[in-house]
Amino acid sequence: MAFVYHIPRKREYSSDPRITISKRIISFNPACIETYFKDRQYVKIGYDVDSRKMIFIPSLKKNEGLKIVKNEKWETRYLNASRLIDKLPFKNESEGEYKCYWDESNKGVVVDIKKDKVK
């Protein structure tokens, strides 16, 4: 009898910046943190109902946004955003992993809920 053994590996992350929106949290992959939020501790979040876009503006000020939490087990960082997600007018279609890009005019990271979904 020949056994095949499972060898655990480190979790793999995309090398492209990605943001994942779930029912309770918004998480940032390591590439997203490194590229956009490296020296920031807070994120100010906004959304546009008509275009179905969200913006994440890096901030150092506590009263301007949600605190970025470091996950002990993984290299991702996340925001406890259940209240915000519950208020989203497009909440039902927002769950998933998204490509994101820098918007220079608004000085923030943008996710297009209609177009940028990866999974």
pLDDT tens for 13-33 read 668 999 999 999 999 999 999
Please indicate, yes or no, if residue 52 is contained in any of the structural domains.
yes
Please indicate, yes or no, if residue 70 is contained in any of the structural domains.
yes
Question: What's residue 61's pLDDT?
Answer: 87
Please indicate, yes or no, if residue 65 is contained in any of the structural domains.
yes
Please indicate, yes or no, if residue 22 is contained in any of the structural domains.
yes
Please indicate, yes or no, if residue 29 is contained in any of the structural domains.
yes
Q: How far is CA 75 from the centre of its chain?
A: 13
> Could you read off the pLDDT of 63-108 as tens digits, one per residue?
889 999 997 777 789 999 999 999 999 888 899 999 999 999 999 9
Please indicate, yes or no, if residue 43 is contained in any of the structural domains.
yes
Strand order in the sheet with 18-21: 69-70, 77-80, 25-28, 18-21, 96-99
> Could you read off the pLDDT of 33-64 as tens digits, one per residue?
999 998 899 999 999 999 999 999 999 988 88
Please indicate, yes or no, if residue 28 is contained in any of the structural domains.
yes
Instruction: Identify the domain containing residue 92 by its residue range.
Output: 18-112
pTM for the complete prediction?
A: 0.84
Strand order in the sheet with 108-112: 66-67, 42-48, 53-59, 108-112, 101-103
Say if residue 12's pLDDT is above 60. Answer: no
Counting the structural domains of the chain, the total is 1
Please indicate, yes or no, if residue 47 is contained in any of the structural domains.
yes
Please state whether beta strands 25-28 and 18-21 pair in parallel, antiparallel, or not at all (unpaired). antiparallel
